[in-house]
Chains A and B, each alone.
Chain A
Amino acid sequence: MKSSRVGDGTLLAALGALVVVLFVLSLGTGPVRLAPGTVVEALFGQGGEAQRVIVQEIRLPRAILAVAIGGILGLSGAALQGLVRNPLASPSLFGAPQSAAFAAVLTLSLGLADLRSFVLPLAAIGGAFASVFGLVAIAGKNASHLVIILAGLAISSLAGAATALAMNLAPNPFAALEIAFWLLGSIDDRSFRHVVLALPFIVVGAALLVSRRHAFRALTLGEDAARSLGVDVGRLRLAVIAGVAVGVGAAVAVSGTIGFIGLVAPHLVRSLVGYDPGRVMVPSALAGAALLTAADIAVRLIPSTTDVKVGVLTAIIGVPFFLHLIIRDRRTLAGGPS
């Protein structure tokens, strides 16, 4: 089709290239700075022994997780926005990371699992599923922005309170401290064990979401019209809930809560691809991957005595962005469903 839109192929190639560049920069960033050329050499088994260990064993898992987690967060945000037809939807707003974190913290503080166990992502997926399912149920067929936001706020607050309670009652105060730091959200010092824990789930969640992208476009006309076009809206809803829960739950299990990527990424790509909720999906995943990788590079460059957690940085940048969107859209927000 001829139009003034950026060609999908060109855009995907450009975003993909951006992710690759950031990925290489991420591998080069740390106490020992490596030039991109050295990084690429080390990545393919060339160069010195020390560089190879730094790149392949210390930094590669972290860089892979940044791309995967950022990607699934961007994709989940785009999918949730498509499902509820609301540009303010995101995994954080749905309480998904918070609820996943609660389930993970509960598992940890009860001593049912440690940070390297498969039980952790499964518990986190369960928590995320419960919160997203609950919110989609509350949102119902045609909820206003206000209902969704208030319900999301309630679910997030409940998950936060439950997390605090679980830590409060944790038998071991040192464990509680460790959990508190983990909750801030970081992919620092992660190993291939963490990649193995999270990546399969993230890939499954992403595949589930991407496979539904065209249905979101039909949903633009409302639920009745979409169903009359042959979209099984009930199944679509379940697929999105499951995809977000599996992807975000697994991400939270290895990184703690990293918020706002899912809100910001779809907005950034909309200026390039337009509002089509199907066309936003894959670019949004790439933008999310680029954002989290960039943020994870930034936390290593910020001069400070204790390292800043990447989840803190994304929230510090994300919340003002969220406010900006609210201020920009406040007239339509007041008017209920748009």
Chain B
Amino acid sequence: MSVPAFLSIEGLAVRLGGRVVLHDVTMEFPRGRMVALVGPNGAGKTTLLRALAGLLSADGIIRLDGKAVSTLTVRERAIHFAYLPQDQSVHWPLPARDVVALGRYPHGAVDPAHLPSRDGEAVERAMVATDVVAFAGRPICDLSGGERGRVLLARVLAVEAPVILADEPTASLDPRHQLEVIRLLRAAAAAGGVIFVATHDLGLAARFADTVVVLDGGRVAAHGPPGMALAPQVLADVFRVGAFRTDHGGEPVIVPWTVV
């Protein structure tokens, strides 16, 4: 490839309780990529995201812009890798804006009541992008599931990290909000980031991802552009489904259709 790698992963492996749950993942991505991470339940999607976020001890080398991330401080890593966990619970009813402001925590802006202007602007941008300004002052527990999902996404965008690791950001959202969330993440990719989205929605992956990584049993089963990584044989082998395929307006449509 002629494009230089921005994020490279070399021999990444994770052991949990003596069992290898992620085997030798090696791949690289240039800037501006939307990467869909798909695979059956237990395939290792969340494990891969958590390892990239530095939440699990893993073997192998992760390089960002040529630099091994193991040499970064905890704070530098937090500035470069923003993680949106699948578990969207918020334990105290903080105002939505204060939740978004937590995205500036790794930048040293730890108190949402006294944000330096640079951080305040980042919070503002993230809130405008996710369209949550209208309920900035409302406690997050009073918001609907969709609103809360957008606030938490705004929190991740507010980090303004070059790498975003989103674990099933579209689960529990209605169709419209699913499309909006994907649009926002694509915009973050277009701005020069590498955006990972773990999802069960093969249709979204096929349509919106630049690269699809198919995990199966902790191994990369396929990796490449959607058409290749989600080829009928892969779907049959990994997901054990057959799909209805077509295209609409030049974009691929994949709908899981039959059980193989």
Contacts and interface: CB of A to CB of B under 8 A. Distances in A.
Say whether A and B bind each other: yes
Interface in B90-134: 90-95, 97-99, 102-103, 105-106, 110-115
Nearest to B93: A275
Interface string B29-60: 00000000000000000000010011100000
Interface in A255-310: 274-279
B87 interface: yes
A1 B99 contact: no
A277 B139 CA distance: 14
Given A3-B137, A230-B74, A217 B98 contact: yes
Interface of A (DSSP majority class): loop
Interface in A1-38: 1, 3-4, 8
A: interface residue count bin? 20 to 34
A221 B54 contact: no
B113 A275 contact: no
A224 B78 contact: no
Interface string B139-177: 100000000000010010001000000000000000000
Contacts of B159: 229
B233 interface: no
A225 B91 contact: no
Given A222-B91, A228-B54, A217 B78 contact: no
A337 interface: yes
Interface string A205-230: 00000000011011111101101111
Nearest to B53: A228
Contacts of A225: 83-85
B92 A275 contact: yes
Given A1-B115, A214-B111, A337-B89, A275 B139 contact: yes
21 contacts: A1-B112, A1-B115, A214-B111, A217-B102, A218-B105, A220-B99, A220-B102, A221-B102, A222-B87, A224-B55, A224-B83, A225-B83, A228-B53, A228-B55, A228-B83, A228-B85, A229-B103, A230-B75, A230-B106, A275-B92, A276-B92
Interface of A: 1, 3-4, 8, 85, 214-215, 217-222, 224-225, 227-232, 274-279, 337-338
